[in-house]
Amino acid sequence: MSGALRVGVAGLGTVGAGVLRLLDTHGAMIAARAGRPVVVAAVSARDRNKKRPVDLSGYRWFDDPIAMAADPEIDAVLELIGGCEGVAKDVAEAAIAAGRHVVTANKALLAVHGAGLARAAESAGVTLAYEAAVAGGIPIIKTLREGLAANSFSRVYGILNGTCNYILTSMRDTGRDFAEVLEEAQRLGYAEADPSFDVDGVDAAHKLAILTALAFGCEVDFDGVYIEGIREISALDIAYADELGYRIKLLGIATQGEDGVEQRVYPCMVPQGTPIAHVDGVFNAVVAEGDFVGRVLVEGQGAGAGPTASAAVADLIDIARGIALPTFAIPAAELRRRPALAAERHVGSQYIRLMVRDRPGVIADVSAALRDCDISVEALLQRGRSPDEAVPVVITTHETTSAAMDEALSRIAGLKAVLEPPRRIRIEAL
């Protein structure tokens, strides 16, 4: 192919500015690797007068990103606006309809509308690329779609949100509780002013839904993801996890079974001896389990201007080379609708922490509730006596269904000696 790949950048926040800096810094190297120059031909954002860390004077400015997407002097649109509805979706759809390639870092858009956008892009003969949408600078999309394309995957899982991983790591290292560490993460810029999407697990669920579709050849099903966040994790739980030989991580886990797909995002205890237990701070990690390759782990920075820009520009380089692959590894028309397996059916071991009034018979009553729900206790920890104050009781179980544990916890919560709602954390053997 000849001539430069002309890119329109929609959205000039942290990542958009990072892309402009990267292309300016490595323009010659990228041209050599792509076989032709990759240049920004136009930009668009909500506020033209906003102060930004890059000089925009050399770029054509569009107040309307949808008009930019259809401009005949644009070959590819880099969508960095964010959000699953509104302008971001309109820009992507307008670009595809005009025959422009689309590169996006928008996990929410793909998690909700990925299948439809993939069908539209393939029908129009253009690329929809999204390496930057999942795990920042980690090339997990290329890994699954290209490097491991010869494998059938049984499971894909990982640490998909750096904010949560930072908070849990800092809680473990310092012994502080969630609220204090969250406030620190906001001061350092690791967490948003409204951290809900991160700490409530939604961001990780968006990414998991994308990985599930890619790994298992099924339609993206964000609504099928079971989601729990980390707000209820306490320093006490983290200390007990360490004592029991575990670390607490917010994981996204997708498993393919004969009768459907299970997608879960929740905090869980993982054995300290597993590699993913030692991925700390703002780093992400993804594990794919293939039938021929076995288990593969990739780790790196999951967010930020540099890593995310790196992933986005890698997609632009592929487009400039003329590399065209189906959005989710197989043609969109062949993506299957797989039933979403209910979270209640999941089988696994669990950790329970109770705060109880230290009176005779408490443990017997708790054990009876577990027994009546056919749950077997693996270990029980209770230290000290304080008849006038709440004391912690920690129980780990053998494998049971989530539905059975839900029923047992409901019964336990109704005991007079139990002073707080029971805390439950799943244990993942991995």
Q: Residue 384: pLDDT band by 50, 70, 90 thresholds?
A: low
Residue 391 sits in the same domain as residue 273? no
Residue 181 sits in the same domain as residue 217? yes
Residue 75 sits in the same domain as residue 160? no
Q: Residue 2: pLDDT band by 50, 70, 90 thresholds?
A: low
Residue 94 sits in the same domain as residue 179? no
Q: Given a cut of 60, is residue 423 above it in pLDDT?
A: yes
Residue 293 sits in the same domain as residue 178? yes
Name the amino acid, one letter, at 245: G
The rounded distance, in Å, linking the Cα atoms of 125 and 17 is 29
Residue 164 sits in the same domain as residue 51? no
Structural domain includes residue 327: no
pLDDT > 70 fraction of the chain, expressed in percent and rounded: 98
Domain boundary among 275, 301, 327: 301
Average pLDDT on 282-308 reads 94
How many domains would you assign to the chain?
3
The rounded distance, in Å, linking the Cα atoms of 201 and 419 is 27
The rounded distance, in Å, linking the Cα atoms of 212 and 240 is 32
Q: Given a cut of 80, is residue 1 above it in pLDDT?
A: no
pLDDT at 386: 66
Averaged confidence pLDDT in the chain: 94
Residue 147 sits in the same domain as residue 126? no
Residue 378 sits in the same domain as residue 409? yes
Structural domain includes residue 381: yes
* 116: containing domain: 5-133
Q: Residue 430: pLDDT band by 50, 70, 90 thresholds?
A: confident
- What does the pLDDT look like over 8-23, one tens digit per residue? 999 999 899 999 999 9
The rounded distance, in Å, linking the Cα atoms of 50 and 116 is 34
pLDDT > 90 fraction of the chain, expressed in percent and rounded: 86
- What does the pLDDT look like over 107-166, one tens digit per residue? 999 999 999 999 999 999 999 999 999 998 899 999 999 999 999 999 999 999 999 999
We report the CATH number of the domain holding residue 62 as 3.40.50.720
Residue 116 sits in the same domain as residue 152? no
Among 89, 207, 249, 416, which one carries the catalytic annotation? 207
Residue 151 sits in the same domain as residue 112? no
Structural domain includes residue 382: yes
pLDDT at 428: 95
Annotate the chain with three-state secondary structure.
CCCCEEEEEECCCHHHHHHHHHHHHHHHHHHHHHCCCEEEEEEECCCCCCCCCCCCCCCEEECCHHHHHCCCCCCEEEECCCCCCCHHHHHHHHHHHCCCEEEECCHHHHHHHHHHHHHHHHHHCCCEECHHHCCCCCCHHHHHHHHCCCCCEEEEEEECCHHHHHHHHHHHHHCCCHHHHHHHHHHHCCCCCCCHHHHCCHHHHHHHHHHHHHHHCECCCHHHEEECCCCCCCHHHHHHHHHHCEEEEEEEEEEEECCEEEEEEEEEEEECCCHHHHCCCCEEEEEEEECCCEEEEEEEECCCHHHHHHHHHHHHHHHHHCCCCCCECECHHHCECCCECCHHHCEEEEEEEEEEECCCCHHHHHHHHHHHCCCCEEEEEECCCCCCCEEEEEEEECCEEHHHHHHHHHHHHCCCCECCCCEEEEECCC
pTM of structure: 0.94
Q: Residue 5: pLDDT band by 50, 70, 90 thresholds?
A: very high
We report the CATH number of the domain holding residue 276 as 3.30.360.10
Which of 53-67, 119-133, 285-299 is predicted least confidently?
Answer: 53-67
89 is catalytic: no
Structural domain includes residue 323: no
Domain boundary among 271, 301, 331: 301
Q: Residue 47: pLDDT band by 50, 70, 90 thresholds?
A: confident
Structural domain includes residue 33: yes
Structural domain includes residue 313: no
Q: Given a cut of 70, is residue 416 above it in pLDDT?
A: yes
- What does the pLDDT look like over 173-204, one tens digit per residue? 999 999 999 999 999 888 888 999 999 999 99
We report the CATH number of the domain holding residue 358 as 3.30.70.260
- What does the pLDDT look like over 256-271, one tens digit per residue? 988 899 999 999 999 9
Q: Residue 387: pLDDT band by 50, 70, 90 thresholds?
A: low
Structural domain includes residue 378: yes
Residue 293 sits in the same domain as residue 361? no
Residue 280 sits in the same domain as residue 236? yes
Q: Does residue 417 or residue 360 have the better pLDDT?
A: 417
Structural domain includes residue 387: yes
